[in-house]
């Protein structure tokens, strides 16, 4: 049975999909977003935070055993299990084994992903995943490369692939002043989302927040953003006005 590199399993999570959920955080990511609030999960190699190692090899059986403890909560709240990270799709064989076992218990499965992976990985998981939580960090490729280190071409292509397969998606758009935010670009992101709206059950527009900043110093990593990355009151108002033009189920969370 396979083992996965896991940083933690968070119980009673309410922000990673519908209902009450357990979120399994997998270590390792192939992006490097300027605003990442989990920088300790980016490297596959061992890292330490507050003197404690981040990430442990855990078997499929042990992950499943841990998350089915809360099966009654999932059933009552229409929740389930979310695999997040990091980028969970980078450990796809382990992920697939976990998900198949959880499906034997009829547990709702969500995957929180940036989708910067080969389509083959998505194809093999597709039949077992109930909800895809997808980030759309910028529709402009130059901005995407500048802020995440990778092109958005594969990501957009994979979103279209999910759409063609008629899956359920929640899409999240982070807005970072001076980095990936301007109103025209946000319009383009929302227009793209509107073009696939039959699959989109929810859109979260998230103002930049500073959670996780203190981790950078502890990890000896440089943090490139400043307070200027927060949207101004005027920008927040223009976002609120813009989203009124769409019939999508959009939720806007101001930054902090």
To ligand SF4, the closest distance from the beta carbon of 191 in angstroms equals: 23
Binding-site string for ligand SF4 from residue 102 to residue 141, where x marks contact by CB under 6 A and - marks none: ------------x---------------------------
Q: Is 166 left (phi over 0), alpha (psi -120 to 50) or beta?
A: left
Decide: is 159 part of the binding site for ligand SF4 (CB under 6 A). Answer: no
Under rule CB under 6 A, which residues in 19-78 are in contact with ligand SF4?
Answer: 29, 31-33, 36, 38, 41-42
When asked if residue 6 is in the footprint of ligand SF4 (CB under 6 A), the reply is no
> Alpha helix locations (H) across 165-232?
183-195, 213-218
Q: Binding segment for ligand SF4 among 63-71, 82-90, 101-109, 178-186 (CB under 6 A)?
A: 82-90
Q: Are 119 and 156 in contact (CB under 8 A)?
A: no
Taking alpha carbons only, the member of 122, 111, 161, 153 closest to residue 136 is: 153
Segment contacting ligand SF4 by CB under 6 A, of 3-11, 64-72, 83-91, 123-131: 83-91
Structure letter (DSSP) for residue 180: T
Torsion of CA 167, 170, 174, 175, to 10 degrees: 100
Nearer to ligand SF4, 41 or 117 (CB): 41
């Amino acid at each position: 049975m396979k083992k996965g590199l896991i940083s933690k399993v968070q119980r009673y999570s309410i922000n990673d999909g519908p209902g009450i959920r357990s979120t399994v955080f997998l270590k390792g990511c192939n992006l490097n977003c300027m605003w990442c609030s989990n920088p300790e999960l980016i490297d596959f190699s061992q890292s330490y935070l507050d003197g404690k190692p981040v990430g442990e090899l855990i078997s499929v059986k042990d992950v499943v055993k841990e998350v089915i403890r809360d099966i009654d909560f999932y059933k009552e709240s229409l929740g389930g299990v979310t695999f997040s990270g990091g980028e969970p799709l980078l450990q796809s064989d382990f992920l697939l084994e976990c998900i198949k076992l959880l499906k034997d218990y009829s547990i709702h499965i969500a995957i929180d992903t940036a989708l910067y992976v080969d389509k083959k990985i998505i194809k093999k998981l597709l039949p077992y995943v109930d909800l895809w939580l997808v980030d759309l960090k910028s529709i402009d490729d130059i901005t995407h490369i500048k802020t995440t280190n990778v092109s958005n071409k594969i990501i957009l292509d994979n979103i279209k692939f999910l759409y063609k397969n008629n899956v359920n998606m929640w899409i999240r758009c982070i807005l970072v002043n001076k980095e990936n935010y301007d109103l025209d670009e946000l319009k383009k992101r929302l227009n793209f989302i509107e073009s696939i709206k039959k699959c989109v059950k929810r859109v979260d527009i998230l103002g930049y927040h500073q959670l996780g900043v203190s981790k950078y110093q502890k990890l000896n990593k440089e943090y490139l953003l400043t307070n200027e990355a927060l949207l101004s009151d005027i920008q927040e108002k223009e976002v609120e006005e813009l989203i009124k033009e769409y019939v999508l189920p959009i939720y806007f969370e101001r930054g902090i």
